[in-house]
Structure 1
Amino acid sequence: MRDPMPLTEMKSYTGRQEVPSDFDEFWDQNLSELSSSYEYKLTPMDFGLPTLDCYELRFKGTNDATVFAKCVFPKNKSNIPVVFTFHGYMGQSPDWSDLFQYPAVGYGIVAMDVRGQQGKSTDPQSVIGNTVKGQIIRGATAGRDQLFFKDVYLDVYSIVEIIASLSFVDESNLSVFGGSQGGALSLVAAALNPRIKRAAVFYPFLSDFKRVLEVGNRDEPYDELSRYFKFSDPFHKTEDTILHTLSYIDVKNMAHRIKAPVKLFTGLEDQICFPSTQFAMFNRLSCEKEMVLLPEYGHEDLHVMVNDSIFDFLTGFDVVVKTQLD
């Protein structure tokens, strides 16, 4: 089912719920409780590549998790700009060979495995409530402090801090990109960590939960919301409470914190992360922003011209080309 909201209405739509009054206080408090001295280990990986340095990064996250990431940097370089990328829901970081594009032009790249999904990050947290494929709703019945994605968002903040602290990294030139869950986490990185200078985002997940319920999205992974109510609260007695709790991880509510330029790619045929939920986030941004509409695209891999546009935006090549043309 295509998004039932007309495009003309989407262009001014800002979502079904407002930001909780203590939203910034909640996140600022959580960030302040993170240790300024991170426990991490960079392990060199010898792939016989003469121009690249590859590392496995592991660091201690909240709730005793161990967070894993792949890191690739140009060899024997200093002041290296770095791009962070985040994968889609239930996935993992790309293969090593898929990460060589940015180092080829002098950028480092860092790809984090989200805890509790298919990669090497661990997730030892025990929770009360539905955990049947249910990381969106996980912890919501116990309150905002127990939300699964609260800890993932703190992992995102922490990995940026760790990489920024490396002696060979240019901490003033850090960017993010990703799609779906990765798009949401890219927005979170820009919202929580002012070190991020650019964000390229495509069809972001985790936005405008009440709209998702209203539309009746039954596709993965938003079916987790309907699953919760169907089997745990068929009369929706807890709907207001659950949605209020989830509002603390709703990325549209992060928009006002983002200062870095954002370039958003939205497929108008998206039946997973409906375009209206993406507009709800985009229309709340007060930073420099651009939205690129893709009429023939759904929630799928990006193809011709789109990936080059993301690459050019993150590396600044689009500015170089424009200057040359001018």
Structure 2
Amino acid sequence: MRICLLLFLVLSFNCASQNSPAPINLVDILLTPDHADWIYHTGEEAEVLITVLKFGVPVQGGEISYEFGPELLVSEKKGIIKLKDGKANINIGTADKPGFRQLKISVVVEGKIYKNQINLAFSPHLIETTQAYPSDFESFWVQNIAEVREKDFKTTLTHLPEYSTEKVVVYLFHLSNNSDKKSVYGYLCKPRAEGKYPVLFAPPGAGVKPIKPYMGFAEDGYISLSIEIHGINPMLDKNTYKQISRAFGKYMFVNLDKKEDYYYKNVYLSCVKCVDYLCTLPEFDGKNVFVTGGSQGGALSIITAALNEKVTALVAFYPALCDLSGYAKGRAGGWPHMFKNIELLTDERLMTSAYYDVVNFARMIKVPGFYSWGYNDRTCCPTSVYAAYNVITAPKENHITPISGHWRFGETNKKSLEFLKSQCK
């Protein structure tokens, strides 16, 4: 019996190791627009070549299903078209206003459905925001920042030898405020060699989840602070975090009808305090203060650069929380797409969103920035990101990779690091 059990375990392990997921699809759907940069003028029609490949060879026969229309909204047209030598052309029409149009494709090969999509831009640099700009927007935040800076904060650093290396010292960071019992956790990473260094603040992407320290920035010569935003110790185990995450629910909707109590208010102010803290470190070079992040972290990078006068440059990848009011005005809005649900659309919530929308913080940016996103991003859609990017008047670099979704290429990461080095004084 014991021998049989051992044989079963060995065979199970061998089967599992021999059947790891394939790194590529058996069938590929290539979508090739007739403009190499994926950009069209309003009023100009766009055509897409669809190529269906199996084993890298065009599929013979068959048909594809398609639908297209404005980005993330109800499709204007659906249909079926036959493939010829694995190819077909579809004209997805045009846009009469600056924005994006979306084409979705699906094909059935040997009983399995394969899908792909493409978003094409129409005069994207003319996209305007739909968001209101409250007359007291700046004074609202100036007052709140002044109040939070007057509060007595306590900072605790706990050395983490299990994460520290020969080049980097890692600490568990805890910033707490006894007066209103708010706190932030994170990881502070310092180059081990003595010297003066730039500081870099890295706010997180969305979610309630454990984070691990990232030592790459410190290895490159920055003192870096990466945080979580919910006041939860990131070193808790995954099961505990899952339970906490369920309890939190959709935090981005909490108190959305109350601008003074909206969930993100404390988050934005905590980011300001974290940068303030970094600038007090004895190893800080006294000159270079950077912020960088993607998605929610990209949004918080722009917001922190707008609210904290100490920041000298920023990098933001596919920022969330941009042009939140888009759906209320008949076009796609940014993550978390709160007003796509018509039941959440009230005057009070719409007005609150104006005080927290990245678009309105983007107007305040005064420092150089590196910005990057893709056109196929369904999470932080390009229409919303352009609405924020287009109002920035400070020096800015735009690194678009049209084919990417809610992710980025290593080459783009490299360019962002080169940008930060170029900003060091």
- TM > 0.5 fold call: yes
Q: Which residue of 2 aligns with 1:262?
A: 369
Q: Which residue of 2 aligns with 1:324?
A: none
Aligned partner letter, 1:194? E
Q: Which residue of 2 aligns with 1:71?
A: 188
Distance 1:134 1:158 in 2: 24
* Correspondent of 2:397 among 285, 290, 306: 290
Higher deviation after alignment, 277-286 or 37-46: 37-46
Q: Does 1:252 align with 2:365?
A: no
Contact 2:204 2:294 in 1 (8 A): yes
The change in CA–CA distance for 1:175 and 1:102 in structure 2 (over 3 A counts) is same
* Correspondent of 2:415 among 309, 312, 323: 309
Q: Does 1:195 align with 2:301?
A: no
Q: Does 1:45 align with 2:160?
A: yes
Contact 2:131 2:359 in 1 (8 A): no
Q: TM-score, normalised by structure 1?
A: 0.83
Deviation, 1:116, is 6.1
Q: Does 1:144 align with 2:212?
A: no
Deviation, 1:223, is 4.8
Provide the identity percentage. Answer: 25
Contact 2:171 2:189 in 1 (8 A): yes
Q: Which residue of 2 aligns with 1:31?
A: 145
The change in CA–CA distance for 1:292 and 1:76 in structure 2 (over 3 A counts) is closer
Query: Stretches of 4+ moved more than 3 A in 1?
Result: 91-94, 116-121, 212-217, 223-227
Aligned partner letter, 2:147? E
- Structure with the higher fraction of residues in helix conformation: 1
Q: Which residue of 2 aligns with 1:182?
A: 297
* Correspondent of 1:135 among 229, 242, 251: 251
Q: Does 1:13 align with 2:127?
A: yes
Deviation, 1:113, is 0.7
The change in CA–CA distance for 1:290 and 1:279 in structure 2 (over 3 A counts) is same
Task: Kindly provide the CA deviation profile for residues 222-280 of structure 1, in whole angstroms up to 9, marking residues without a partner as x.
Answer: 254445x43xx6xx5x2x32111111000110012211111110101111111111111
The change in CA–CA distance for 1:35 and 1:118 in structure 2 (over 3 A counts) is closer
Q: Which residue of 2 aligns with 1:22?
A: 136
Distance 1:14 1:106 in 2: 39
Contact 2:149 2:273 in 1 (8 A): no
Distance 1:118 1:294 in 2: 35
Distance 1:78 1:9 in 2: 48
Q: Does 1:56 align with 2:172?
A: yes
Deviation, 1:119, is 3.8
Deviation, 1:118, is 8.8
- 1:79-118 aligned at under 5 Å gives the runs 79-92=196-209, 94-96=211-213, 99-115=214-230
Distance 1:132 1:226 in 2: 21
Aligned partner letter, 2:382? P
The change in CA–CA distance for 1:86 and 1:268 in structure 2 (over 3 A counts) is same
Higher relative contact order (CA 8 A, sep 6+): 1
Contact 1:93 1:112 in 2 (8 A): no
Aligned partner letter, 1:269? N
Deviation, 1:35, is 3.4
Distance 1:119 1:136 in 2: 19
Distance 2:180 2:338 in 1: 23
Contact 1:184 1:204 in 2 (8 A): yes
Distance 2:149 2:138 in 1: 19
Q: Which residue of 2 aligns with 1:276?
A: 383
Task: Kindly provide the CA deviation profile for residues 175-204 of structure 1, in whole angstroms up to 9, marking residues without a partner as x.
Answer: 111111000000011001121111111110
Aligned partner letter, 1:288? P
Distance 1:52 1:17 in 2: 43
Gaps of 5+ in 2: 1-67, 73-98, 101-120, 237-246
The change in CA–CA distance for 1:132 and 1:159 in structure 2 (over 3 A counts) is closer
In angstroms, what is the RMSD of aligned CA positions?
Answer: 2.7
Task: Kindly provide the CA deviation profile for residues 30-68 of structure 1, in whole angstroms up to 9, marking residues without a partner as x.
Answer: 001013453111122223523222111101158412210
Larger Rg: 2
Deviation, 1:216, is 5.8
Gaps of 5+ in 1: 122-130, 321-326
